[in-house]
A and B are shown apart, each in its own frame.
Chain A
Amino acid sequence: MIKQLHFYGGIHPVEDKVAQSVPIVEPPILETYMVPLQQHIGAPAKAVVAKGDQVKRGQLLGEAQGFVSAPVHAPTSGVIREVTTCLGPSGAQVPALLLASDGEDAPADPMPAIDWHQASPGDLRQRISAAGIVGKGGAAFPTVVKLSPPPNKKIDTLILNGVECEPCLTADHRLMLERAADIVTGAQITARILGAKKIIIGIENNKPDAIEVMRQAGADYGIEVCSLRVRYPQGAEKQLIYAVTGRKVPSGGLPADIGCLVQNVGTAAAIADAVCLGKPLYERVTTVTGTPLVSPGNWRFRVGTTYSEAIKLAGGVKEDPIKIISGGPMMGMAVYSLDIPIIKSTSGILLLSKDELTQFAVRPCIRCGRCNDSCPMGMMPGILSVQIENQRYELAEKWHVMDCIECGCCAYTCPASRPLVQHLRRAKAEVQAARRAKAGK
């Protein structure tokens, strides 16, 4: 067993993982799916089907445009009823296809299975790219890009992220319990592509069952499991790498700079499906939870399932929620519509009741220093926030605002309820804009 290191700062919010004992359920086929063509960071996919086209499950609907992009596949069989736009979780309209299901769920001809022990890293990368795999932890970064580090950066350690440090979410936990073998296979495929010698799975020690299951599944392949203390944001890339390897990602750098790559356990399972079964990524496990819900749980949703369908599956609500969040309570995005579809990176749908509402107010900082103590990046959010209120962005840059990972620990602890994360995000955007303007000159 690996000795784990403690990163500085962090918080321990109430875990509230009520759905952790609810097994993953396969929902029935719906009448329609709203499939966004942008479910990832980068350029949206370009539709290759037109209105009225018949499609089968797993058929390509949109092809990747450019390197940082990902294709999109049909979640079920049916007819493309409309080429349209829909609301994404970020609140922006994105191009989308409305798929009317024919109820048969007929599969398209699968891509041929690949024997990954024999296949070249190039072939495996190509398959991962063709299957539309993106990081399922939340950022939705196209996986193939991550798996193609520059040749001078040698990756020796692959870290699987099974931490799930966001309160309330349990999707990764259930996935580890139910699909441990596939996760291990996906990890081995990834390690083969990268030439990584070592595979470590990091799991918070509030999931002893998952630690045990993963340890057994990985034992024969030399995969180590690192039991991590429960501390948010243990699952943040830089903090996780430090905890399991002791290496620090340099400020402004990438994990590849120190020979590491972090991948979500869900992404690993999707890679195994794509390579061994030829199955593209069109479904994912999502936790639907929150006190207003009748029966929270975990479902394997097809992408394009709207939030309202997901909430119906969870039995509807007992009381009206005050917030609906796409993702977890610490970093998720509040949404205002139930017509938003679940996409490849939707790890959870969280409903908060009225008494769980947090409102931020612009009251003065009393300099208590709690944000300092909780910042896992060792920044000074309190000082930064005052600088940012005065629009001193160049000063904020000097005080390392660009290192912020937006984990929200500072705002969580702030007794004055200051909107610290909003301030930091704004400064990051302003600094980015200033840098771009400078580079453009």
Chain B
Amino acid sequence: MSENTIRLPDTSKLVISSSPHLHEDDSVRRIMFMVILALLPACIAGAWFFGPRALWVLLVCVASCVACEILCTRLMGREVHVSDGSAALTGLLLGMNLPVTTPTWICVIGSAIAIVLGKMIYGGLGYNPFNPALVGRVALLLAFPTVMTTWIAPMTRRLEWAGVNSVTQATPLGVSELTAGTLPFSYWDLFWGRTGGCIGETCVPALLLGGIFLIALNIIRWHVPVFYLATVAIITGVTHWLAPAQCAPPLYHLLSGGLMLGAFFMATDMVTTPLSRKGAVVFAVGCGVLTSVIRIWGSYPEGVSFSILIMNSLTPLIDRWTAGKPFGTPRRAPREVKP
């Protein structure tokens, strides 16, 4: 080949940057989108069991969360990054944690609390110490206890859009019969989600499907749900063994309430949980202990939200405790080198 047909690079447009020059093909937006995708089966199940209004509640929460975030970033004079999907995810999680009968205006208030007080006030994505969706949910639980604990029986309102005058039903954890030693719901009903409860928390297979999807994509650590659920199973197992008449068996606990949703989607929230694998295990075990204690001895029937929020507050400490020593820091005196 002759000299003049060889083309040399144009150096005027070269980019200079620090190494590394390769990057894994992943982004915050993709992670958020995948989590939303993983939540969809449970949302569809919620709509199936509780009627189409479930979709309305979810939609209102997502839309108000996104709107609140846009408003806040504008007020803070920052670039709007709502397209990263984190606000939409918060909205979806909040909606899934509400009863289907929650009035629209309460959904909006909950979303505003979640985004403004749960996230943006700390500086936005990445800086919030508490899971924003749970902040919203717990605020609503404290402010509107009746609304937040009114449950309709599943499959009763499938064709109706609105109306709150429906057949109410206690949630599996709220039933008084439990203390009488007989289970008010069959395991099969609990598993499929044919019980009262929040929109997105009842259908275990849908949540498992989403959770396993996220573990397979390496977005969440399997350690968190496994250690969380195992801790609950062990503690409730022991109490059931000691007092079978008062305490529900472990499987009943695992399949009811918000435990599955919490273990796979809330205790795995990246921002508010420890960084390291070891820290994640500590966090998950802590959540399991607190959930069991609140469920067995507390005055609230359900403790997942509270336990995750309490553990959120411990996250910086757990991070510090579990910070490993760097490679090459001797645990003991350095080994004698044999000549």
Contacts and interface: CB of A to CB of B under 8 A. Distances in A.
Contacts of A103: none
B30 A415 contact: yes
Interface stretch (A29-37, A42-50, A205-213, A369-377): A369-377
Contacts of B10: 320
Contacts of B337: 154, 156, 247, 258-259
A357 interface: yes
B31 interface: yes
A333 B273 CA distance: 36
Contact of B19 (A154, A333, A357): A333
Interface stretch (B119-127, B157-165, B245-253): B119-127
Smallest CB-CB A-B distances: 10 pairs: A408-B20, A364-B126, A316-B6, A358-B23, A259-B337, A403-B326, A369-B275, A316-B7, A329-B21, A368-B270
24 contacts: A7-B327, A248-B327, A250-B330, A308-B8, A311-B9, A316-B6, A320-B9, A329-B22, A330-B19, A332-B21, A334-B18, A337-B11, A338-B8, A338-B9, A351-B9, A357-B15, A358-B23, A366-B125, A367-B126, A367-B271, A369-B270, A379-B326, A400-B325, A412-B24
A315 B23 CA distance: 28
Given A317-B9, A367-B271, A367-B273, 14 more contacts: A91-B16, A238-B328, A250-B329, A318-B7, A336-B11, A360-B18, A364-B123, A366-B31, A369-B280, A380-B276, A380-B319, A400-B326, A408-B19, A416-B27
A154 to B, nearest CB: 5
A139 B68 CA distance: 51
Contact of A383 (B30, B275, B338): B275
Interface of B: 1, 3, 5-11, 13-24, 26-28, 30-31, 81, 86, 123-127, 221, 270-277, 280, 319, 323-330, 334-335, 337-339
Contacts of B20: 329-331, 358, 408, 411-412, 421
A248 B10 CA distance: 46
A44 to B, nearest CB: 24
Contacts of A415: 24, 26-28, 30-31
A103 B241 CA distance: 93
A421 B23 contact: no
A203 to B, nearest CB: 22
B31 A336 contact: no
Contacts of B277: 369, 372-373
Interface string A399-422: 110010010100111111101011
Given A154-B339, A378-B324, A336 B14 contact: yes
A332 B272 CA distance: 35
Nearest to A333: B19
Q: Which of A292, A332, A382, A416 has the most CB of B within 10 A?
A: A416
A413 B124 contact: no
B331 to A, nearest CB: 10
A13 B3 CA distance: 36
A425 interface: yes
A315 B19 contact: no
Contacts of A3: none
A167 B20 CA distance: 11
B284 to A, nearest CB: 14
Contact of B270 (A335, A366, A380): A366
A19 interface: no
Nearest to B17: A334
A239 B326 CA distance: 12
Contacts of A312: 3, 6, 8
A356 B23 CA distance: 9
Nearest to A295: B1
A115 B32 CA distance: 66
Interface residues of A, number: 85
Contact of B327 (A317, A357, A403): A403
A317 B6 CA distance: 7
Contacts of B31: 366, 368, 415
Nearest to A407: B20
Q: Is the interface of A mostly helix, strand, loop or mixed?
A: loop
Nearest to B5: A316
B195 to A, nearest CB: 34
A171 B18 CA distance: 23
A352 interface: yes
Contact of A331 (B19, B280, B328): B19
A353 to B, nearest CB: 10
A382 B7 CA distance: 42
A334 B21 contact: yes
Contacts of B327: 7-8, 238-239, 242, 248, 251, 376-378, 403
A167 B22 contact: yes
A359 interface: yes
A43 B336 CA distance: 35
A351 B323 CA distance: 38
A322 B15 contact: yes
Contact of B11 (A292, A331, A338, A352): A338
Q: Give the interface centre of B22, B125, B338 by most chain A CB atoms within 10 Å.
A: B22
Interface in A1-31: 7-8, 11, 13-14
Interface in A308-351: 308, 311-312, 315-318, 320-325, 329-338, 350-351
A193 interface: no
Contacts of A325: 19, 21
Contacts of A156: 337-339
A377 B328 CA distance: 8
A379 B323 CA distance: 8
A179 B28 CA distance: 47
A366 B21 CA distance: 22
A365 interface: yes
Given A156-B338, A334-B16, A415-B26, A251 B124 contact: no
Contacts of A111: none
A363 interface: yes
Residue with the greatest number of chain A CB neighbours at <10 A, chosen from B13, B15, B272, B338: B15
A122 interface: no
A94 interface: no
Nearest to B125: A364
Contacts of B6: 312, 315-316
A119 to B, nearest CB: 23
Contact of B28 (A331, A363, A369): A363
Contacts of B271: 366-367
Contacts of B324: 378
Contacts of B28: 363, 366, 415-416
Contacts of A322: 13-15
A374 to B, nearest CB: 9
A417 B23 contact: yes
A315 B24 contact: no
A307 to B, nearest CB: 9
